[in-house]
A = this chain, B = another copy of it.
Amino acid sequence: MTELGTPSRRERLVQAALRVMERDGLAATSTRAIAREAGVSSAAVQREFGGFGPLASDVVEHLVAAEGDAALWALITTENDVVAIVREALRSYLHLVQQRPGAEQTLLEVTLLGLRRADLDGLPERQYERYLEVMRELLAIVARRADIRWDVEADQLARFALALTDGVTLAWLVDRDDAAAERTLELAAETIAAHARSRQTV
Q: A152 touching B187 by the CB < 8 A rule?
A: yes
In the assembled complex, which residues on chain B have CB atoms less than 8 Å from the CB atom of A165?
A: 167
Q: B184 touching A156 by the CB < 8 A rule?
A: yes
Q: A183 touching B156 by the CB < 8 A rule?
A: yes
What is the interface size of chain A, counting residues whose CB is below 8 A from a CB of the partner? Answer: 42
Known: A27-B116, A116-B24. A111 touches B159 (CB 8 A): no
User: Assembly of this chain: how many copies?
Assistant: 2
How far is B159's CA from A166's CA once the two chains are assembled, in angstroms?
13
The residue in A24, A112, A128 that gathers the most chain B C-beta atoms within 10 A of its C-beta is A112
How far is B192's CA from A164's CA once the two chains are assembled, in angstroms?
13
Supply 23 A–B pairs (Cβ within 8 Å), ascending by A. A27-B27, A27-B113, A28-B116, A105-B112, A108-B112, A108-B170, A112-B112, A115-B173, A156-B183, A156-B184, A156-B187, A157-B187, A159-B171, A159-B183, A160-B187, A162-B167, A162-B171, A163-B164, A163-B171, A166-B166, A166-B167, A166-B171, A167-B167
